[in-house]
C-alpha cells in the first residue's frame, strides 16, 4: 500500500472525530447511493416496458414481410414459401393478404385492416391464437342462425369489436374498396361474415384496427384470385431481421423486396431510447448534487489538515502526492456510494421480478406488475457515471491542498 492511499484511508476513517465534516461526507455517500439506485431501477423498468412493447408488436406481426413492387401480388407463393424456409435462421413462413376494408355491424360502420391468413401456417409467424380472449380462431364456414346461411368466420380486435358493439356469434358485412362493375355502375364488393373470435394483444394500434379472415375469403373479397400480396416470415433471432431480410431479397430478386419489424417500428423504438437518455441525464443530477457534498467535505478537510499538509511537504512529499491523498479520500465516498447503490438496486429489482411487489391493473395494461429487466451495461454505465462525477469533485480541493507552501502552512498553524 503506497503512503498516499494509507494517509487517505486514515483521513477517511478519522472524519468521524471531526464532527461536521463526517456528517457532510456521510450525506455525500448516501446521496450518491440513492442516485445510483434510483437511476438503475428507472432504467431497468424502462427496459422492462421496452421488452413488453417489442413482445406485443412481434406477437401481432411477423419479423419479416416479403412483398412485390407496385403491389402486383404474388402468384407462386407456395413455392416461394418453401424456398424462403430453407434459409438459415428462418423458422416459419405463411402467405397473407393485407388490405383495408369497410366493416359494418348493426350498430356502427368503421374501417378495418383486414388480414387474410392461412390458419394452418399462421401460428408459424404470429401469436394470434394465444391472444384470443373470446371464441376461437376458426375462419371456416359457420352456420348463421339468423339467416340460415353458411358464412365465413372473422376474428376482430377487442377495441374494434367494442366500437362496433359486436360479440362472438354476431354477423358483420365487409366492403372492399376494390370496386366491381355492375350494369355500368361501380359497386363495392360485399361479404358477410360471422364473428368467431375476439383477440386482445395489448397493443392498441392492432386491437383497434385489425381483423382476420381466411385466405380464401380475402382473395374473393379483394379480387386477388389465386394471389397474395405478402409472405410473412418468422426467424429464430428477431434482432437478425435486417440481415436475414437482405439474404431473402438477394435470393428472390426482383420483383420482390422485404420489410422488417425493426424498420417498420423505428420511430417508436427511437423514442424509447431517447426517453432513456433523457431519464439518465435528469436522474444523474441526483448524483451531481451529492458530489457537491464531497467538494464541501474535502475543502473543510483541507482547512482542518493544514498543519499535516505542511509537515508532509517539509518531509519531501510532492504536490502530486498531496493531490493523490485528497483525491483518494474523496473517491472513497464515491466508490462506497456507487457500490451500495448498485447492490440496493439489484436487490429491489430482484424482489420486484420474483414477488411482484408493485402491481398494476392488468385490465388496463395487460400486465399484472411493474416490468423489470436488468441489463449489465446499464448498471456499469451508471456506476462509471457516479465514479467520474466523484473524481471530478475531488480535483479542486486536492489542487488547493497541493498548492499550500510548507513554511506558510506551518507558520499559520
Residue 385 pLDDT: 92
pLDDT per residue as tens digits for the range 371-380? 999 999 999 9
Residue 289 pLDDT: 82
Q: Helices (DSSP H) in 257-265: which residue ranges?
A: 261-264
**For 69, how many CA atoms within 13 A lie in the half-sphere containing its CB?**
7
pTM of the model: 0.77
User: The C-alpha cell of 312 is what?
Assistant: 508532509
Report d(CA 94, CA 118) in Å as an integer. 7
| Cβ 331 vs Cβ 322: under 8 Å | no
- Give strand pairing partners of 114: 99, 211
From the CB of residue 185, how many other CB atoms can be counted at a distance below 10 Å? Answer: 8
Residue 179 pLDDT: 60
170 or 362, which is more confident?
Answer: 170
Residue 262 pLDDT: 87
Report d(CA 227, CA 282) in Å as an integer. 53
Rounded to an integer, the average pLDDT of 294-317 is: 79
Report d(CA 69, CA 235) in Å as an integer. 23
Which contiguous run of DSSP H or E holds residue 328? Answer: helix 319-355
pLDDT per residue as tens digits for the range 59-102? 778 999 999 988 788 998 999 999 999 999 999 999 999 899 99
pLDDT per residue as tens digits for the range 249-259? 999 988 899 99
Residue 230 pLDDT: 94
103: helix, strand or coil: strand
Model confidence at 409, pLDDT cuts 50, 70, 90, reads low
- Whether the pLDDT of residue 366 is over 70: the answer is no
Q: Which residues of 337-373 are buried (b: 16+ CB within 10 A; e: fewer)?
A: bbebbbebbbebbeebbeeeeeeeeeeeebbebbbbb
- Residues 6 or more apart whose Cβ sits within 8 Å of residue 377: none
Provide the percentage of residues in the chain whose pLDDT is more than 90: 49
- Nearest 5°: phi and psi at 52? -65, -40
- Whether the pLDDT of residue 55 is over 70: the answer is yes
Report d(CA 69, CA 48) in Å as an integer. 38
Region of poorest pLDDT, from 38-47, 49-58, 164-173:
49-58
- Give strand pairing partners of 24: none
Residue 281 pLDDT: 87
Rounded to an integer, the average pLDDT of 329-334 is: 87
239 or 89, which is more confident?
Answer: 89
Residue 17 pLDDT: 53
Residue 364 pLDDT: 64
Report d(CA 124, CA 102) in Å as an integer. 28
From the CB of residue 22, how many other CB atoms can be counted at a distance below 10 Å? Answer: 15
- Give strand pairing partners of 68: 256
- Residues 6 or more apart whose Cβ sits within 8 Å of residue 322: 309, 312, 313, 398, 401, 402, 404
pLDDT per residue as tens digits for the range 123-152? 999 989 989 999 999 999 898 878 788 999
Amino acid at each position: 500500500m503506497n503512503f498516499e492511499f494509507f494517509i487517505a484511508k486514515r483521513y477517511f476513517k478519522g472524519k468521524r472525530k471531526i464532527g461536521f465534516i463526517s456528517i457532510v461526507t456521510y450525506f455525500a455517500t448516501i446521496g450518491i447511493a440513492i442516485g445510483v439506485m434510483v437511476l438503475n431501477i428507472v432504467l431497468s423498468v424502462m427496459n422492462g416496458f421496452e421488452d413488453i412493447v417489442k413482445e406485443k408488436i412481434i406477437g401481432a406481426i411477423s419479423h419479416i414481410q416479403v412483398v412485390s413492387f407496385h403491389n402486383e401480388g404474388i402468384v407462386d407463393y407456395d413455392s416461394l414459401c418453401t424456398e424462403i424456409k430453407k434459409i438459415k435462421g428462418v423458422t416459419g413462413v405463411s402467405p397473407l393478404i393485407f388490405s383495408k376494408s369497410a366493416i359494418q355491424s348493426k350498430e356502427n360502420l368503421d374501417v378495418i385492416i383486414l388480414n387474410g391468413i392461412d390458419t394452418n401456417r399462421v401460428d408459424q409467424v404470429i401469436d394470434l391464437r394465444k391472444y384470443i380472449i373470446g371464441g376461437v380462431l376458426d375462419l371456416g364456414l359457420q352456420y348463421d342462425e339468423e339467416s340460415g346461411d353458411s358464412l365465413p368466420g372473422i376474428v376482430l380486435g377487442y377495441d374494434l369489436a367494442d366500437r362496433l358493439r359486436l360479440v362472438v356469434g354476431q354477423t358483420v358485412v365487409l366492403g372492399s374498396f376494390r370496386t366491381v362493375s355492375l350494369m355500368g355502375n361501380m359497386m363495392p364488393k360485399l361479404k358477410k361474415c360471422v364473428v368467431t373470435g375476439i383477440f386482445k394483444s395489448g397493443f392498441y394500434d392492432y386491437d383497434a384496427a385489425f381483423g382476420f379472415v381466411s385466405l380464401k375469403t380475402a382473395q374473393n373479397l379483394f379480387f386477388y384470385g389465386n394471389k397474395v400480396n405478402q409472405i410473412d416470415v418468422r426467424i429464430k433471432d428477431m434482432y437478425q431481421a435486417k440481415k436475414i431480410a437482405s439474404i431473402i431479397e438477394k435470393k428472390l430478386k426482383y420483383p420482390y423486396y422485404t420489410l422488417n419489424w425493426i424498420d417498420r417500428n423505428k420511430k417508436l423504438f427511437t423514442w424509447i431510447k431517447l426517453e432513456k437518455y433523457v431519464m439518465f441525464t435528469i436522474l444523474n443530477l441526483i448524483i451531481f448534487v451529492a458530489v457537491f457534498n464531497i467538494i464541501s467535505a474535502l475543502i473543510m478537510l483541507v482547512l482542518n489538515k493544514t498543519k499535516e499538509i505542511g509537515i508532509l511537504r517539509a518531509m519531501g512529499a510532492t504536490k502530486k502526492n498531496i493531490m493523490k491523498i485528497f483525491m483518494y479520500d474523496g473517491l472513497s465516498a464515491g466508490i462506497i456510494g456507487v457500490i451500495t447503490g448498485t447492490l440496493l438496486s439489484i436487490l429491489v429489482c430482484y424482489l420486484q421480478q420474483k414477488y411482484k411487489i408493485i402491481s398494476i391493473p392488468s385490465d388496463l395494461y395487460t400486465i399484472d406488475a411493474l416490468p423489470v429487466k436488468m441489463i449489465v451495461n446499464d448498471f456499469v454505465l451508471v456506476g462509471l457515471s457516479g465514479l467520474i462525477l466523484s473524481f471530478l469533485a475531488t480535483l479542486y480541493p486536492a489542487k488547493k491542498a497541493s498548492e499550500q507552501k510548507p513554511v506558510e502552512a506551518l507558520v499559520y498553524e
